[in-house]
Amino acid sequence: MRKIGIFVCHCGLNIAGTIDVQRVVEEIKKYPGVAFAADYKYMCSDPGQALIRQAIADYGLDGIVVAACSPAMHEVTFRKAARAAGVNPYLTEIANIREQISWVHQTQPEEATRKAIETIATIVEKVRYDEALVPFSLPVVKRALVIGGGIAGMTTALHIADAGYPVVLVEREAQLGGKMRQLSGLYLNFDAAPDLLETKIAAVMQHPNIQVLTNAEVVELGGYVGNFTVKISSRFQVPGYKLQVPGSEIAQSGINPQPETLQPETLQPETPQPETFTFDIGAIVVATGFDLLPKSELGEYGGGRPPDVIDGLQFERMLAEGEIRRPSDGAVPKEVVWVQCAGSRDPELHMPYCSKICCMYVAKQAMAYKQRVPDGQAYVFYIDIRSQGKGYEEFVQRAMTEYDVLYLRGKVARVFEEDGRVVVYGVDTLSGKAVEVQADLVVLATAVVPSAGARDLAQRLRVSTDEYGFFSEAHPKLRPVESLTAGIFLAGAAQFPKDIPETVAQASGAAAKVLGLFAQREMVQEPTIAFVDEELCAGCGLCVAACPYEARVMHPWKPIAVVQTALCQGCGACVVACPNKASSLRNLSTEQLLTMMEPVL
Amino acid sequence: MRYSYYPGCTLSSTGVEYGQSVAAVCEVLGIELVELEDWSCCGSSSAHALDHELALSLPVRNIALAQPAGMDTLMPCPACYQRTLRADRRLREDEAWRREMEALLGFAYDGQGRPRHLLDVLGHDLPAEAISSRVRRPLKGLKPVSYYGCMLVRPPKLTGWDDPEHPVLMDRLLSTLGAEPVVWSYGVDCCGGSLSLDRSDVVKTLVGRLATAAAEAGANCIVTVCGMCHINLDTRQQGTQMPVFYLTELMGLALDLPGQEQWFNKHFINPLPLLASLGLVGQRR
């Protein structure tokens, strides 16, 4: 019979403040199979772990139960400690007496203590029948997928490719470049965006390690970190853009559509036969960028009706094309109003968050406008100026002092068209006066929102988004470039609005995380997965249908089901589905579960 | 169609003609109004400037009065509607407050009936043919601008039945009457509201802008569904003499209902010369 040691943690007063740990130790000592029991203030501390190692040596323990916090916190810690003393880590289990007992039953110490004793007893039963397992090793596929061909995606792709690993770069549009393609000169020194971008695009296109797929989208994701299987659908092929893809399997080959040779009658709507490619991928970087909140959403600012009310990207196009002329009549606008926080910082009606990039690009646009129309007047309505970045505040100050941009601190109430001009009702909260400007052109710094389709993509990738559709980082402070799904990383405005320098920084961080993963020779997989008892399996296939991870297939010729160990996540759906009880989970067998129930019945 | 009816104080004071025309129009359109017995103040203006709790608990009393009938409550005044809607929403969302109100007023809120504004009911509950088939005198030549005022369709999270910035319902009804509504940009601007009493200069500025804008847009009258807007527009214009109608007055005119002259006599700016010039005066039956 297994000799089991029990280690009860006080967690300061977190546990001991509610549960009578001494009594727990006394009671559990009497339980069959328990060879040793002790309590300690902080079991996860070095002395706590030393206590475990010492007890293993002194009492010859071959099973360990640590009664402490959730296994999500310290299961790994204690399994390492046990292994160091010669006990198989899978014979070390956690009884969660903190989150599930002491924290939730603070007003009932008596019952909490009883529940703790019973819970530990169930885990003793589990350990009694646990097998000494060995983790699997799986190879890491050292090819990365980058979704989104804007500045974020291209930066990530180049870093990974430069390190020598192949990258598949998927872009939904026909061309690389993303939103940066629409920009003119950039702050702080009016660098021409197209020049910077073309250099990047050329580097990406010419890189031997980067495979670019444009007009393409990720349609399906299987597998897990290190061993993803990704299906990518290319809507149509752009000559010169789609490169040959060595090592990928072309699942469905379509004929290159040549609309010009077709008769008009037979011309199909814009849906040339899509091709689907399947790739084995080790790591994924999501860099899908942003969109602007449509002006039609901003009824108070004209709802997209007045032609001379435009958004920031439309003004960028004007700057890029050289001449600033208003859309309605082509006149050069002499009075131009920028409305900051148009749809941002507006919890009542629109987005409550700050879109972060507007303060800076508005200052840049107003300066660029004054460079081209020196006798024009530029107004900027703002709530606060958020110029947090190296040289940013000085830049905004220059807009005010050198370019005479009139900054008015207050929110614009309404924008509407009248007699060929655009009327802006605002307020200058510094003077306390209502302000009305008869403008020729109004530029709305509309809120930055996630790229269209981001939510759908998130579902396909099984990564989470926040309430607005931005991809969620694993930890807001310490893991800002990782998603909550292992092996999927984030870069750029897909995660939250950010400007180019910050995007590039995050993209570099994402690349570093991918390279860190690729530097591992192999990935270790938990052995606590499902297996099939071939003697009992009748080959009915119910488990194949039940498995959500495609980890179960029929044997090629024998009438039995087989577990694909690399894909199994140990969820147990097959155990429930199996009518013959041939499916079982390692170290969580049906027999084990029934035995574990004994102490609480 | 039956509704509980909450007229509010304006309809028996500065907006008598509004109340009379609402009653006349609803009767002929088959909208039965059952006035709440012993209704009290809705909590607007003075109450909500002084005490937010009071301003929200006052309308709860009226909600409690309306509840036994189980019908929606029709309200012609945007301020009454706004206050009651706010209270009703809080009853639905704030359970602790609901219990407090229930204890205070001795009832159990069931959330069956809802406060509804007259315009919402006329525009959404009534088929357009119900009105158009009864029009006896199309308001040809009348070029109104629709003036909703600042609070009728706002905030959209509470109201939700017309666009909060570019509402369209009143234009639609006016077109049904044969009038030719004019597009303008000031339909949801503020008239100054109760500042009329202590800061009439502000109201004069705001009303002046509205009247001028209406004239510049090519309108010959302004239409409203708010007693406060009406009195401000009717008494605070400077230099202009733009007639101001209640929507229900124009409906009464188009439907050729009795009592019209009586309503128009209440106006400071006499609308009869305009109506006469368009051949729209005098009962025809």
Does position A387 have pLDDT exceeding 60, yes or no? Answer: yes
- Span A156-175, pLDDT tens digits: 999 999 999 999 999 999 99
- Residue A63 CA to residue A71 CA, distance in Å, equals 16
The residue in chain A having the minimum alpha-carbon distance to the alpha carbon of residue B162 is A299
Does position A239 have pLDDT exceeding 60, yes or no? Answer: no
Give the 3-state secondary structure of residue A46: helix
Q: What is the pTM of this model?
A: 0.76
Using pLDDT thresholds of 50, 70 and 90, give the confidence band for residue A486.
confident
Q: What's the rounded mean pLDDT across residues A358-380?
A: 97
Q: Which residues of A touch B189 (CB under 8 A)?
A: 414
CATH class belonging to B137-277: alpha beta
Region of poorest pLDDT, from A546-550, B92-96, B104-108, B131-135? A546-550
Domains of chain A: residue spans and CATH: 4-129 (3.40.50), 144-289+451-518 (3.50.50.60), 294-447 (3.50.50.60), 529-585 (3.30.70.20)
Does A299 sit within 8 Å of B185, measured CB to CB? no
Does B157 sit within 8 Å of A303, measured CB to CB? no
- Residue A209 CA to residue A420 CA, distance in Å, equals 55
Region of A567 on the Ramachandran plot (φ > 0 left; ψ -120 to 50 alpha; else beta): alpha
Q: What's the rounded mean pLDDT across residues A21-34?
A: 96
Region of poorest pLDDT, from A249-253, A333-337, A496-500? A249-253
Does B164 sit within 8 Å of A348, measured CB to CB? no
A418 near B CB under 8 A = yes
Q: Which residues of A touch B192 (CB under 8 A)?
A: none
The residue in chain A having the minimum alpha-carbon distance to the alpha carbon of residue B166 is A299
Whether domain B2-119 has CATH 1.20.1050.140: the reply is: yes
- Domain positions in chain B are 2-119, 137-277
Q: Which residues of B touch A349 (CB under 8 A)?
A: 155-156
Q: Which residues of B touch A305 (CB under 8 A)?
A: 166
Task: Please give the pLDDT value at position B283.
Answer: 53
Using pLDDT thresholds of 50, 70 and 90, give the confidence band for residue B231.
very high
Task: Please give the pLDDT value at position A272.
Answer: 59
Topology match between the domains B2-119 and B137-277: no
Which residues have a Cβ under 8 Å from the Cβ of A522 and sit 6 or more positions away? A137, A138, A139, A140
A348 near B CB under 8 A = yes
Q: What's the rounded mean pLDDT across residues B155-173?
A: 92
Does position A240 have pLDDT exceeding 60, yes or no? Answer: no
**ipTM score assigned to the predicted complex:** 0.75
Task: Please give the pLDDT value at position A538.
Answer: 95
B interface residues, A as partner, C-beta within 8 Å: 155-157, 163-166, 185, 189, 213, 216
Does A418 sit within 8 Å of B189, measured CB to CB? no
Does position A295 have pLDDT exceeding 70, yes or no? Answer: yes
Nearest CA distance, B233 vs chain A (angstrom)? 21
Region of A75 on the Ramachandran plot (φ > 0 left; ψ -120 to 50 alpha; else beta): alpha
Q: Which residues of B touch A419 (CB under 8 A)?
A: 216
Q: What's the rounded mean pLDDT across residues B215-237?
A: 96
Nearest CA distance, A276 vs chain B (angstrom)? 44
A349 near B CB under 8 A = yes
Task: Please give the pLDDT value at position B46.
Answer: 81
Task: Please give the pLDDT value at position B157.
Answer: 87
Q: Which residues of B touch A427 (CB under 8 A)?
A: none
Q: What's the rounded mean pLDDT across residues B109-113?
A: 94
Three-state secondary structure string covering A322-341: CCCCCCCCCCCCCEEEEEEE
- Among B165, B189, B216, select the one facing A303 at the smallest CB separation: B165
- Among A299, A348, A419, select the one facing B166 at the smallest CB separation: A299
Does A423 sit within 8 Å of B166, measured CB to CB? no
- Span A570-601, pLDDT tens digits: 999 999 999 999 999 999 999 999 999 999 98
Using pLDDT thresholds of 50, 70 and 90, give the confidence band for residue A567.
confident
Interface probe for A, chosen from B150, B158, B159, B166 (most Cβ of A below 10 Å), is: B166
Task: Please give the pLDDT value at position B284.
Answer: 57
Name the range with the highest mean pLDDT among A236-250, A482-496, A562-576.
A482-496
Task: Please give the pLDDT value at position B282.
Answer: 63
A468 near B CB under 8 A = no
Nearest CA distance, B57 vs chain A (angstrom)? 23
Q: What's the rounded mean pLDDT across residues A300-308?
A: 95
Q: How far is CA B256 from CA B20, B25, B114, in A?
A: 14, 10, 31
Using pLDDT thresholds of 50, 70 and 90, give the confidence band for residue A465.
very high
Strands in A283-286's sheet, in edge-to-edge order, are: A210-213, A167-170, A144-147, A283-286, A488-490
Using pLDDT thresholds of 50, 70 and 90, give the confidence band for residue A369.
very high
Nearest CA distance, B222 vs chain A (angstrom)? 18
Q: What's the rounded mean pLDDT across residues B171-190?
A: 95
How would you label A273-284 residue by residue, b for 16+ Cβ within 10 Å and e otherwise?
ebbbbbbbbbbb
How would you label B243-257 residue by residue, b for 16+ Cβ within 10 Å and e otherwise?
bbbbbbbbbbbbbbb
